[in-house]
Structure 1
Amino acid sequence: MDLSVIRPSPYPFFISPQNYVHWVETPQSHLFSVDLPGVRKEEIRVELEDSHYLIIRTERDEESTEAMRKFMRKFRLPERVNLDGISATYENGVLTVTVPRSFVRWNLRINSSDLIHSNGNLSARAA
């Protein structure tokens, strides 16, 4: 995996707060990973808020009688991401959320009837 930008942890390697999420940027996507040992898959929620925020949290199952570590983190997503392509996996107590980058190019199209000829220059009318 080619990692272009790795956000280093502000904590020493032996100290990591319980709500720390590791965020890695690759050319293809943003990867969020968090250790959630002992949490069942059904108790994990990955949500989008207003199409701008990624929320990762745990929610206690009403049937469960065991104690659960509460967890909640909220991230503002970058501008160019594919919201429909977001995926999450949970293996061996580690949740990984993949947010793919969007590579859509915006093309500006000018109708020839909107062109104005003045002083030998071409310009387009503002919308």
Structure 2
Amino acid sequence: MSNLTLWSRPWDTERWLRDFFGPAAMVDWIQPRAHDQFTPAAEIIRHGDDAVVRLELPGIDVDKDVAVELDRGWLVIHGEHRDEHAEHEHGRSLREIRYGSFRRSFRLPEHVTSDAVSASYEAGVLTIRVAGAYARPEARRIAVTT
């Protein structure tokens, strides 16, 4: 007998995204963005056993406007890029810089704790290092009582 699986229902994009990317796919990909939100470009690089997440956030005051959190196994980066000139300058003819709130989230392995996460900001790039993200946790022997 073959292990061939056929699609039994029409293409379900939401289910496919959720299965492939995890629950955050619904938040990060499906839901429409408000006009005052943007998604900063991100990359994740493996450096030994560590994961290094880099987000492009030029012109942001990270001390005031960015939060990096570990929430139930998710690395969550959120904040706001404020337009300091909006109140003073009206009638701009070209506006390519994105302002508004942002939120990015990435699933982490279960063994990662907040002690393993560190963040720095330099030259418009927020860099978050997750120490040991790719390390395989050691197996623990469980004592059997008789």
**CA shift for structure 1 position 85:** 1.8
Write the distance in 1 (CA, Å) between the matches of 2:46 and 2:111: 13
Matching residue of 2:112: 81
Residue range with higher mean Cα deviation, 28-37 or 96-105: 96-105
Write the distance in 2 (CA, Å) between the matches of 1:31 and 1:98: 5
Contact 1:47 1:54 in 2 (8 A): yes
1:31 aligns with 2:52: yes
More helix by share: 2
Matching residue of 2:140: 107
Q: Deviation digits for residues 4-53 of structure 1, max 9, x if unmatched?
A: xxxxxxxxxxxxx9522101123321110011111012211111112x11
Q: TM-score, normalised by structure 2?
A: 0.53
Aligned length: 94
Matching residue of 1:45: 67
Contact 2:39 2:103 in 1 (8 A): no
Q: How does 1:110-125 map to 2 (within 5 A)?
A: 110=143, 114=146
Bigger Rg, structure 1 or 2: 1
**CA shift for structure 1 position 103:** 5.5
Q: Once the two structures are aligned, what percentage of the paired residues are identical?
A: 30
More strand by share: 1
4+ runs of 1 displaced by more than 6 Å? none
* Unpaired runs of at least 5, structure 2: 1-37, 87-98
Write the distance in 2 (CA, Å) between the matches of 1:38 and 1:90: 11
Q: What is the root-mean-square deviation in Å for CA atoms of aligned residues?
A: 2.7
Q: What amino acid is the match of 1:44?
A: V
Q: What amino acid is the match of 1:56?
A: I
Residue range with higher mean Cα deviation, 75-84 or 102-111: 102-111
* Unpaired runs of at least 5, structure 1: 1-16, 115-127
Structure ranking higher on relative contact order (CA contacts 8 Å, 6+ apart) = 2
